[in-house]
Amino acid sequence: MLLQRILQFNSDRDLLLVKRKYERMSADPFTFFRGTCHLFYADLAKSGLLREAPAVWICGDLHLENFGSYKGDNRLVYFDINDFDEAILAPCTFDIVRLLTSIELAFAQTEGIDPQLLAETALEAYVEALSDGKARWVERDTATGLVKLLLKREKELDRQSFLDERTEIEAGERRIKIRDKKTRPLPQDRKQLIQTFLESHAAQQPNPDFFKFIDAAWRIAGTGSLGLERYMVLVEGKGSPDENYLLDLKIARPSSLENIIQLKQPKWKSQGKRIVAIQKRMQAISPALLHAVTITDRSFVMREYQPTEDKIDLEENRDLEDLIGLVNTVGQVVAWAQLRSNGRQGAAIADDLIEFAEKKHWRKTVLSYAQQYSQKVKQYWATFKDQVKFE
């Protein structure tokens, strides 16, 4: 039954990449959790818990790996939630309980680390930030600990080094490197499709030459979305070869919460419009070149390429004090995102969020559910690992 639910959910994806997704999910319960957002919300809906909370715009797939650093459209570097594929209007408790579950799983086997302490720290930070009622943000000057180091690293990366790692120069022109774990080659007709789209998109932009097509490859990234159509696209940018830009072009699919949320949702013109609109509401500053676009009647999200390395490596950073600082920051970031988007298209106003934060009855339920569900994920993972085949 469990395996069938997972196979059905992934049935329309690229078969080779779905195999890779399943291999990743078999590694440990935390990775399995990241790859099965649909299971989490289906189970939460069955429980009937955590629905009596103010409606807010949520990330949907909130876990520790969906925070990271990026350059905003003002070219400053920020640390924020960075994945909105599942974003939707939902009870404010939904994001925080998924985050706490991810914390329980990420550090379940880490010697000297109490996952429950980290979950409690994140929840306390969320509550305090929500009670404050003011949406703040994290940038280099305000960051601390691991997040500050991450933002410093992002700022120091120059464009040529960034490009040299991901592209190579042939006859004076850059081409995307084909790397087994990161990219796959595209047939010429698919490249032509992307080029035609970019020509149309460029004609509507103030600097059309920026979007002049150079090359494209299939991009392999993420866990939950692995197997979905996604491209890395190399364009002229501010000049060849060392001022080229890389774009991320990802197909937009319906949120896996769509059929379980009872709140009335806006009528979005496309799934890409949904993702981009909610992302812009929740982030202090969004990544550069963020657009909802259409290619052959299918909805995509386009943005400046952000390397997967721009996240905190949870395997390398195991110091308790550093991790307490990290979960404190992410708890605050969630609250700030909910406050920033308050009052928009059905979302609760800030006063309602402040009032909710000051109540205590729901906090124990959130912590208890996260702890209990993390145990269920471990059981799911063990079953999946035994049953899935990689042939």
| Domain spans of the chain, in order of start | 2-67+88-145+314-387, 159-304
Model confidence over 340-386: pLDDT tens digits? 999 999 999 999 999 999 999 999 999 999 999 999 999 999 999 99
CA distance 79 to 287: 11
Q: Phi and psi for 90 in degrees, rounded to 5? A: -155, 170
- Residue 281: what pLDDT? 98
- Tell me the average pLDDT across 308-322: 84
Q: Is pLDDT of 95 > 60?
A: yes
Residue type, 154: E
Residue 94 has pLDDT above 60, yes or no: yes
Q: What is the pLDDT of residue 390?
A: 67
What pLDDT is recorded for position 391?
54
CA distance 109 to 317: 14
pLDDT > 70: percent of the chain: 99
pLDDT value at residue 310: 83
Given this model, what pLDDT does residue 80 score? Answer: 97
The whole-angstrom separation of Cα 160 and Cα 166 is 10
Instruction: Dump pLDDT digits (tens) for 186-217.
Output: 999 999 999 999 999 999 999 999 999 999 99
How confident is the model at residue 155, as a pLDDT? 73
pLDDT in tens, 57-78: 999 999 999 999 998 989 889 9
Pair of tokens at residue 216:
């494209």
Q: Is the pLDDT of residue 327 over 80?
A: yes
> Are 76 and 289 in contact, with CB atoms under 8 Å apart?
no
Task: List own/partner pairs for 359-367 with CB under 8 A and 24 or more apart.
Answer: 362/50, 362/52, 362/53, 362/93, 363/123, 363/127, 365/49, 365/50, 366/50, 366/93, 366/96, 366/97, 366/100, 366/123, 367/100, 367/116, 367/119, 367/120, 367/123
Look at residue 214 in the predicted model and tell me its pLDDT. 98
Summarize pLDDT for 260-275 with one digit per residue, the tens.
999 999 999 999 999 9
Mean pLDDT of the chain: 95
- Determine the average pLDDT of the residues in 218-236: 96
pTM: 0.96
Query: Are 92 and 56 spatial neighbours (Cβ–Cβ below 8 Å)?
Result: yes
- pLDDT tens for each residue of 292-314: 999 999 999 999 997 755 888 88
Tokens of 139: 């940038």
- 288: its two tokens: 């550069």
